[in-house]
Structure 1
Amino acid sequence: MVHFVLVHTICHGAWCWYKVKPVLESAGHRVTAIDLAASGMNMAKIEEVHTFSDYTKPLIELMESLPPEEKVTLVGHGVGGINLALAMDSFPHKISAAVFLNGLTSDSTHSPSYILDQFLERNPADSWLDSNISSDLNPVNSKITVLLGSKCLVTKLYQLTSSQDLALAEMLIRPGSLFKEDLSKCMSFSEEGYGSINQVYIVCKKDLTITEDFQHRMIENNSVKEVMEIEDADHMAMLSKPNEVCCCLLDIANKYN
């Protein structure tokens, strides 16, 4: 039995794993889908979340609560890959494998914001269409907040996902932040922590947000042990291709636990 911990991307929540969770559980595994701070059903507001560590706190608290002998398989989607990196660096002894589902991957050389800079260079503010992007003007911990718009969702994230799941997203997404300013001040992740864990990358070949070529570029620049691919998966692969995502995760469970 493997304990999967599923981590969502910006503006989303644990709800986006609703197709994956029961399939993994029916195969005999334990599944915890996390709501990061100010996400999903987490009661905090994004204005109250000042740092990336604050944002990641629900994941960190889960890792701290694990029995000493228990190891988990972390799965991070999209920007949630950076939340994974923070947990990996802090709890390498509690992680069997880290799975990046078309996720942003960091390295142990640059600041944690480095991959965000590259991502935003390819996805400037005007490419987010009708999304609401603003600054909270906090004098101590300034951050840019984002609320994904309907045109952005259907054009860049959900273009191969069902109309029902798109409607669900439009009802449940909340404002989020990349916390780029805060991450630019943080130390790089360590080889002893982050770099010591088995990393598996699942490429989603029709992702228009974190594009296939950018996914492969991250793979080449990081310590990825194994690469899997899903054809015809958009950015929201857990919704557009849930069976394929589950097959990948079950294969990983057999190999790394």
Structure 2
Amino acid sequence: MAASETNKQRRHHFMLVHGMCHGAWCWYKAATALRCAGHRATALDMAGCGAHPARLDDVRTFEEYSRPLLDAMAALPAGEQVVLVAHSHGGYSVALAVERFPDKVAAAVFVTASMPAVGRPMAATSDELLAFVGPDFFLDSKELEQENPEIKGKPFIFGPNFVSQRLYQLSPPEPANAFTTGNPDEVVMRDEKLVTEGYGSARRVFIVVEEDRGIPAEFQRRMVAHSPGVEVSEITGADHMAMLSQPLELVQLLIRTADQSQG
């Protein structure tokens, strides 16, 4: 009986949040492995991404972009906690969800993800990354025409050379197809009061990916340095798309993190 109860206690719910120009589909290996291990895995499409029905020019703000995650968090039964897992640009949406629903988060895991610091605007992290990698970093990626005049900025699409050289150099080539993304709202992204101690008090774990060419490991550690108290794990032999290049190792880290959160 006791063993059965312990086994039940160690079944976790993971919410998986994709990065820029991707969708829930990129988690298919990791989500399958989590489910096979007896856990619940919910991979979400942010608004305007993947199979989400919204068009890019329907998504006016960063909050609207993150709405699928915020709605999923709001719908959780009372007392249930989830492990939020962010990849790349998805770190901003996860930070917003942790800020809004800290009591529903067992842990927030940033897989080579943008991790904002308490008291700093989220855009500061993006600005610093762009300065770190330089203007030619994105190779053949390009901005698209903005069809909605109410939205500042333009949609962005990753080019095939950027995808193969910076993101997927160790991953299977077949998932790398059409990528588009919505636009974060500048007012929200530059709000210094957006992420507070509500987000900062949650358990946060950063998974450093050494061979990542999309967010270099040196910059990953720089983000960690801005947030004292964040735990650090590492994956080797993976590229930026760790959930595709090293899915089983990533899943083992996620389950270990969830087990530790449960005590």
For the superposition of Structure 1 and Structure 2, which TM-score range results when normalised by the shorter chain? over 0.9
Q: 1:255 matched to which residue of 2?
A: 260
Q: 1:207 matched to which residue of 2?
A: 212
Structure 2 Cα separation of the partners of residues 18 and 184 of structure 1: 29
Percent of matched pairs sharing the same residue:
38
Matched, 1:11 2:16: no
Q: Is the 8 A contact 1:107 1:188 kept in 2?
A: no
The residue correspondences of 1:150-229 to structure 2 (distance < 5 A) are: 150-162=160-172, 166-170=173-177, 173-177=178-182, 179=184, 181-229=186-234
Q: Is the 8 A contact 1:200 1:224 kept in 2?
A: no
Range moving further from structure 2, 91-100 or 22-31:
22-31
Q: Is the 8 A contact 1:52 1:182 kept in 2?
A: no
Structure 2 Cα separation of the partners of residues 96 and 194 of structure 1: 12
The DSSP-based 3-state class of the residue aligned with 2:258 is helix
Change (3 A) 1:224 1:32: farther
The DSSP-based 3-state class of the residue aligned with 1:136 is coil
Which residue identity lines up with residue 20 of structure 2 in the other structure?
I
Structure 1 Cα separation of the partners of residues 59 and 229 of structure 2: 31
User: Segments of 4+ in structure 1 off by > 6 A?
Assistant: none
Structure 2 Cα separation of the partners of residues 6 and 60 of structure 1: 13
Structure 1 Cα separation of the partners of residues 72 and 55 of structure 2: 20
The DSSP-based 3-state class of the residue aligned with 2:29 is coil
TM-score, normalised to structure 1, is 0.92
Matched, 1:80 2:98: no
Change (3 A) 1:144 1:217: same
Structure 2 Cα separation of the partners of residues 101 and 233 of structure 1: 11
Q: 1:55 matched to which residue of 2?
A: 65
Q: Is the 8 A contact 1:144 1:179 kept in 2?
A: no
Change (3 A) 1:45 1:182: farther
Larger Rg: 2
- Offset at 1:61? 0.5
Q: What CA RMSD, in Å, does the superposition of the two structures yield over aligned residues? A: 1.7
- Offset at 1:175? 1.6
Structure 2 Cα separation of the partners of residues 180 and 55 of structure 1: 9
Q: Is the 8 A contact 1:204 1:233 kept in 2?
A: yes
Structure 2 Cα separation of the partners of residues 35 and 81 of structure 1: 14
Structure 1 Cα separation of the partners of residues 43 and 243 of structure 2: 12
Equivalent in 65, 83, 99 of residue 89 of structure 1: 99
Structure 2 Cα separation of the partners of residues 177 and 141 of structure 1: 10
Which residue identity lines up with residue 217 of structure 1 in the other structure?
R
The DSSP-based 3-state class of the residue aligned with 1:115 is helix
Structure 1 Cα separation of the partners of residues 188 and 179 of structure 2: 21
Q: 2:125 matched to which residue of 1?
A: 115
Give CA-to-partner distance per residue, 1:23-81, whole Å, 9 cap, x none. Answer: 11121111100000011110111111111000000000000100111100000000100
- Offset at 1:11? 0.8
Q: Tell me the number of residue pairs that the alignment of Structure 1 and Structure 2 aligns.
A: 252
Structure 2 Cα separation of the partners of residues 156 and 211 of structure 1: 10
Which residue identity lines up with residue 152 of structure 1 in the other structure?
F
In structure 2, runs of 5+ residues without a counterpart are 1-10
Q: 2:4 matched to which residue of 1?
A: none
Which residue identity lines up with residue 161 of structure 1 in the other structure?
S
- Offset at 1:127? 2.0
Q: 1:234 matched to which residue of 2?
A: 239
- Offset at 1:192? 3.0
Q: Is the 8 A contact 2:138 2:162 kept in 1?
A: yes
Change (3 A) 1:154 1:190: closer
Give CA-to-partner distance per residue, 1:70-120, whole Å, 9 cap, x none. Answer: 100000000100110000100001000000000011011211211011112
Give CA-to-partner distance per residue, 1:165-195, whole Å, 9 cap, x none. Answer: x22221xx33214526243443433433111
